[in-house]
Amino acid sequence: MIKSINTTARYLPQGNEVDLFHHAAASQLPVLLKGPTGCGKTRFVQYMAEQLNRPLITIACHDDLTASDLVGRHLIGAEGTYWQDGPLTRAVREGAICYLDEVVEARKDTTVVLHPLSDHRRELPIDRTGELLKAHHDFMLVISYNPGYQNLMKGLKPSTRQRFVGLSFDYPTPEREVVILCQEAGIDKQTATQLVALGNDLRRLKDQDLEEVASTRLLIYTALMICSGCSVREACRACLAEPLSDDSETLAAIDRLISCYF
């Protein structure tokens, strides 16, 4: 659920998102990232954490994530009861970037905890200890979600959205996506170009035959499989067909589309 990231992340900007993030960080403002699955939101946050030389704590949100999971709780040890900070509290104390990935998946009480940290107060009330924790100067709150998954039951309230600087992401242009595949997988440009064209054709099937489309992440997985020695057709089926559908007719249609390119 919780990850501390220490990697050298490569990221190819799509627009002015890097500059905007720098401005938000300098102004101590929280950031909201919007975009489809696998388009590079998490990689972007890793890249910006390295650019800003700040530690990054990533929290993968899910249905059972509670406010206590973020803030902390009392535990029982050999010497009695003691308090243990949650990942959000650690980030607030230490001046880290706290990234809540797919925040709409978390329980509603978690977003309420974020409100005093995402406005001018920049503070975290810890009710169970009575502490009112002022955020470290370098603390930054970043959340993300996929607008395509929003519905009446799962969505960000306007009172939450309007506390954040918003950045929209989408899949890269074909030219940029080819560069990404070559850089990430070491695949040749011609094969990368064909994979990207296939991926874009699959994306046109969204809301018709597919609920979700081929992400840049899946294209990179396909390229990595090919570079490892897997046949192109097998890699495409394993990475671009099977993850997208369980329906036999849809899989057959994707297979026919793959055959058009390879």
**Is the domain 2-168 a CATH 3.20.20.100 member?**
no
- CA-CA distances (angstroms) from residue 216 to 50, 52, 71, 119, 171? 22, 25, 33, 33, 7
pLDDT on residue 237? 95
pLDDT on residue 208? 64
- d(CA 156, CA 63) in angstroms, rounded, equals 14
Tell the residue number behind the tokens 């509670």, with chain if given.
66
- Please tell me the pTM assigned to this model: 0.88
Q: Is the pLDDT of residue 1 over 70?
A: no
Cα 19–Cα 21–Cα 23 angle in degrees, nearest 5: 70
DSSP state of 16: S
Confidence bin at 212 (pLDDT 50/70/90): confident
- CA-CA distances (angstroms) from residue 92 to 27, 99, 110, 129, 135? 16, 12, 15, 16, 5
pLDDT on residue 154? 65
For the segment 70-74, the average pLDDT, to the nearest whole number, is 91
Confidence bin at 31 (pLDDT 50/70/90): very high
Q: Domain limits of the chain?
A: 2-168, 174-261
Q: Is the pLDDT of residue 192 over 90?
A: yes
Q: Is the pLDDT of residue 9 over 90?
A: no
